[in-house]
């Protein structure tokens, strides 16, 4: 899959099944495309489900340090969404915790 620099934001109106309300920023065009892909394939966007400080959601920082975005995402089958215990980015590493 290609790196889309996708911003899905936090507005999950009518898409609650596919994303949480804890995204960062405002959705862009690639975010719309990614969300449509997730809806069409019954995937949930993991990084939007759990509440974390913004610093733990940010996956890109501008060189001057003033602009920060959440542009990298992982999607999981909606079937397994309830198995997610936590999901976040910490110092450039995406962490996914599930129950079995």
pLDDT tens profile 49-62: 888 888 878 888 88
- Predicted TM-score (pTM) of the model is 0.79
pLDDT of 2 > 70? The answer is no
Q: Give residue 99's pLDDT.
A: 62
C-alpha 5/C-alpha 51 separation (Å) is: 21
- 47 confidence band (pLDDT: 50, 70, 90): confident
Residue-level pLDDT at 100: 54
CB atoms within 10 A of CB 41: 11
The H or E element spanning position 60 is strand 60-61
Question: What pLDDT digit, counting tens, does each position of 20-44 carry?
Answer: 999 988 999 999 999 999 999 999 9
């Amino acid at each position: 899959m290609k790196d889309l620099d996708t911003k899905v934001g936090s507005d999950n109106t009518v898409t609650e099944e596919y994303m949480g309300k804890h995204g960062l920023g405002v959705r862009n065009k690639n975010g719309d495309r990614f969300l449509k892909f997730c809806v069409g394939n019954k995937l949930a966007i993991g990084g939007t489900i759990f509440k974390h400080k913004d610093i733990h959601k940010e996956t890109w920082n501008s060189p001057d340090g003033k602009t920060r975005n959440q542009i990298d995402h992982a999607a999981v089958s909606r079937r397994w969404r309830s198995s997610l215990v936590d999901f976040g980015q910490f110092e450039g590493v995406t962490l996914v915790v599930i129950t079995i």
